[in-house]
Amino acid sequence: MTADARLLPVDSESTAALAASGLRYGLVDTTDRAAFAAWDQADSRGFHESRLSEATIDANFANLAYRRTTGVWDDTIPDAAVPVATVSTWVAELTVPGPAIVPAWAVSSVTVAATHRRRGIARALMEGELRTAAAAGVPLAILTASEATIYSRYGYAPATSVATLEVDRRRVAWVGPTPTGRVHFVQAASARSIVEEISARAVSRTPGEIDRWGGRFDQHFGLIAPDSDRGRSIRTARYDDAEGTPQGVVAFRLIEHEPDIVRLEVEHFTAATDDAYAGLWKFLVEHDLVTSIRARHRSIDEPLPLLLADRRAVRWSEVEDFLWVRVLDPIATLESRRYGAAGRLDLEVSDALGFASGRFRLDVAADGTASVTRAPSVPDAARDAGTDAAAADPATLTLTVNQLGAVFLGGIRPTVLAAAGLIAADSPETLALADRLFAAERTPHLSIVF
């Protein structure tokens, strides 16, 4: 597998398709600041954001140069140096049940200019990235979607959900365990110096999380524009365990909406242990002169309400799909994780783009490890060996590659998809087996947008 996505050429099939429409498809030289700046401004425009400041472009240039940065150009337009479409990709480390780490083709910055819609550009970009990832030997692709109706056509499906967590500070009384360590206010630069190591340990605990990059921390801690109003408003704190080892970091802002109505807005929350989780939340919810606390992109299985006397002090809103998964190599993908039970299950997978089609036999041992092999289709087996062989075939799920991605991390149960008519099983027992197999030790959760 090629780990450095920048070394891979753009897909020849997409190149030809776009050239036929008079468009040029290529990679951005991420050592060329001017070329990167034009791409970066196009990316920002595609998401209807403001024009980027030079400081922001400098930060992105420094922090995102490791990515495979791709654009589509129309040489007939007045500002031909600015691409009319963008995409950015890299090989990320995705935590899967086990916990274990699997390489995943992370897809970001997918934009098409409003002037160039309906010309097949998005399809060329998305399918080109999948072909490139598959050729490089990356077993699956992932993304977070700004729109929910686009990516299923390319074989992706939501595998995790997030919610906005809101706490009514006036109803808070802590009844959870007393944290064994201490919380300290620290400068943002000090928090930044330790957060990558803490984050690496935190991310490895939870299926659905991916490894972080420096620019994300700089953004959360207000370090890209430290003298801006937002940068000056951010406070950072560190949690040290009983031995004095840093185990968690939080960044937050206090926003006064009107007199005596103050919201604490969580910008970043990383906890590598359950003790650090409790310690940081106790610190946040016990802030005086605060009426509410708000944190985005939290798990839908958050333990915070159980740590408060009044569980109704915590409310969830904006519950939505978040990490989307697209399987490219079913054998490598399915073998990368541990499973919740022993058993054998055949998966009859259809894939309109052809990457993952076939019948795959999943054999899970008592320790949760799996071996996966290609299996003959049931009709072929029955023709070769008679109906008795077909009757003896393992329990079988029939599903699309989308639904294989949906259940892979354990956040969506096969029985739920079957109830929606998205998965077919040869018996109720097969669905129950699939639920047991794909169950994860922790609720899958991705806590950042990428």
What is the pLDDT, as a whole number, of residue 383? Answer: 46
What is the pLDDT, as a whole number, of residue 257? Answer: 84
pLDDT at 258 exceeding the cut of 90: no
Closest C-alpha among 214, 204, 5, 217 to residue 94: 204
Q: Model's pTM, two decimal places? A: 0.93
| Residue 121 known to bind ligand | yes
Portion of the chain with pLDDT greater than 90, in percent: 93
Contact residues for 258 (Cβ-Cβ < 8 A; gap 6+): none
pLDDT at 209 exceeding the cut of 80: yes
* Assigned token pair, 118: 């309906």
What is the pLDDT, as a whole number, of residue 156? Answer: 98
Q: What is the pLDDT of residues 19-55, one digit of tens each?
A: 999 999 999 999 999 999 999 999 999 999 999 999 9
Query: Can you tell me the distance from the alpha carbon of 141 to that of 134, in angstroms, rounded to the nearest whole number?
Result: 9
Residue keyed to tokens 């098409």: 112
Q: Which CATH architecture has domain 330-438?
A: 2-Layer Sandwich (3.30)
| Residue 44 known to bind ligand | no
Mean pLDDT score of the chain: 95
| Residue 49 known to bind ligand | no
Domain with CATH 3.40.630.30 in the chain: 5-138, 163-319
Catalytic residues: 151, 450
Asked if 232 and 171 touch (Cβ cutoff 8 Å), the reply is: no
| Residue 147 known to bind ligand | yes
Query: Can you tell me the distance from the alpha carbon of 179 to that of 280, in angstroms, rounded to the nearest whole number?
Result: 9
Query: Can you tell me the distance from the alpha carbon of 278 to that of 176, in angstroms, rounded to the nearest whole number?
Result: 8
| Residue 261 known to bind ligand | no
Confidence band of 393 (pLDDT split at 50, 70, 90): confident
Query: Can you tell me the distance from the alpha carbon of 436 to that of 413, in angstroms, rounded to the nearest whole number?
Result: 9
Q: Strand 246-258's sheet: what is its strand order?
A: 182-186, 235-240, 246-258, 261-271, 292-299, 161-168, 314-321
DSSP for 163-197 reads EEEEEEGGG--B-SPPPSSEEEEE-HHHHHHHHHH
| Residue 112 known to bind ligand | yes
What is the pLDDT, as a whole number, of residue 260? Answer: 85
| Residue 111 known to bind ligand | yes
Query: Can you tell me the distance from the alpha carbon of 292 to that of 294, in angstroms, rounded to the nearest whole number?
Result: 7
Over residues 392-405, the mean pLDDT reads 93
Determine how β-strand 358-364 pairs with β-strand 343-350.
antiparallel
Domain with CATH 3.30.1050.10 in the chain: 330-438
| Residue 118 known to bind ligand | yes
Residue keyed to tokens 């099939």: 13
Contacts 24+ apart (CB under 8 A), 414-419: 414/438
Element (H, E) at 292: strand 292-299
Asked if 445 and 162 touch (Cβ cutoff 8 Å), the reply is: yes
| Residue 250 known to bind ligand | no
Q: Which CATH architecture has domain 163-319?
A: 3-Layer(aba) Sandwich (3.40)
CATH number of 5-138: 3.40.630.30
Amino acid present at 22: G
Q: Label residue 138 exposed, middle or buried (CB < 10 Å: 0-12, 13-18, 19+).
A: buried
Over residues 317-326, the mean pLDDT reads 97
Over residues 238-259, the mean pLDDT reads 96
What is the pLDDT, as a whole number, of residue 386? Answer: 53
Contacts 24+ apart (CB under 8 A), 146-154: 146/47, 148/321, 150/122, 151/126, 151/324, 151/326, 152/402, 154/126, 154/127, 154/130, 154/326, 154/353
Amino acid present at 441: E
